[in-house]
Structure formats: C-alpha cells, structure tokens
Amino acid sequence: MEPPVPCCAYSCRRLLLALVWLLALAAPAGAQASSVVELPIDYLATSAELVFEGRVVGQRVEQGQHARDIYTLVTFEVLDVVAGRWAQPTIDLAFSGGRLGHLAMEVSDMRIPAVGEHGVYFVERLDRRQVNPLLGWTQGHFLVSASPGQRGIVRTAVGRPVFSIEARPSAVRRGLSTGTAPGVLTSPQIADEAPMDVETFKARLRELTR
C-alpha cells in the first residue's frame, strides 16, 4: 500500500506544474521559463513513481506535433531500482528542449543528463510526458562521481557533495526551489564526516519510503 500524499505536498505538485506551463506559454519562441516549488527529499522518495540508479547511454532530439514541441529523449541503462517497479534494462525519458536542425528550444533551469552521466533519478510519472520527467527537476536529479578504486560519491545536480538526507515536516510552508531538496544536507554535520556513497544513499532512500 502506497503512503498517503499530504494535501500540502499534492498542492505543491499542482502548483509546480501550473507555474511551469504558465511561464512556458508566456515565454518567447525558442526560450521557456520555469519556476519549481521546493519538495522535501522524503516527499520525492515516496511520491516519485520510479527512483533508479542509472547511466546515460544515448540521447536524441525529436519534434512533437508543434514546431515549439522539441524534446530530448535520453536513454538510461538501469543499474538498480531503488523505489517503484521497472523490469527493463533501459528506460527512455523525454526532457523538453534541445536543438533539431535550425530549430532550438531552451527551458531555463533544465538540466538534461549527458551521455556518460551516472546518477540517481526520481521519475515523477511513467505514463505521460512532463516538461521535466524528474520530480522536482534538479531536486530529483543526483550525480554519482567516482575515482578509480573508490565508491561513487553522491552529489546534487549542481555538483555539491551530499553528506546526509533527512525527513522534513510536510506541513512546513515551501517557497520556490533553489535547486536542492529540503532535507538534503550538503555540508558536514560533524568533524571529518565523509560524503555519502551511492549505496548508503540508496539505503537511506529506501528507509524513507517505508
């Protein structure tokens, strides 16, 4: 049985989508604006339809029914399913924006995973296209970086190391996102604390979904 979604969290999701689409419609051709509501890490973990560790193995740009409907289809190798269900070895996710011949579209604050990127991804829905398929945009987009012979270290989408993740009260009023989900700690809490490796990060996410 899935955990109930708090009313304020559901409202946040609706507000997020409304802001994105309203600003997109108001933007000039070739550029779209975005505003994303803060979503706590525990909400991301319990509300995403799929959370997986993966690696980008392909990317192609396609056009929809309208000239402005340009999106980048990113193919991921699925390395591990953290939450939700996915039985295939790969998954394709469509991100709005990209360049196709002389046509181009950009969405502000959109980070499209590049080929070779290794990360942990929170997919909002599997049954329909979103402006950004990742719940909370960069809030649901984590990178995994590794040095030879070392475990992969988890970083935010902007490259800041993650030291811990913790649940946050759902009743707290949220503003617009600065790029990192509330509850993701990007500075050490004790002396000599090391950033989280990907296995520890995934284990903690699984705890949050119970």
Q: Does residue 2 lie within any of the structural domains?
A: no
Domain for residue 1, yes or no?
no
Does 26 map to a domain? yes
pTM of the predicted model as reported, rounded to 2 decimal places? 0.82
pLDDT tens track for 105-134: 999 899 999 999 999 999 999 999 999 999
Q: Domain range for residue 33?
A: 7-208
pLDDT at 4 over 60: no
**Does the residue 89 lie in any domain?**
yes
Q: Looking at the predicted structure, is the pLDDT value of residue 11 above 60?
A: no
Of 9-23, 24-38, 74-88, the range with the lowest mean pLDDT is 9-23
Count up the domains in the chain and report the number. 1
The answer to whether 70 and 98 have CB atoms below 8 angstroms apart is yes
- Digit-coded pLDDT (tens) for 154-202: 999 999 999 999 998 765 667 899 899 999 999 998 888 999 999 999 9
* Rg of the chain over all Cα atoms, to the nearest angstrom: 17
Q: Is the Cβ–Cβ distance between 45 and 205 less than 8 Å? A: yes
Q: Which of 81, 75, 175, 77 is nearest to 122 (CA)?
A: 81
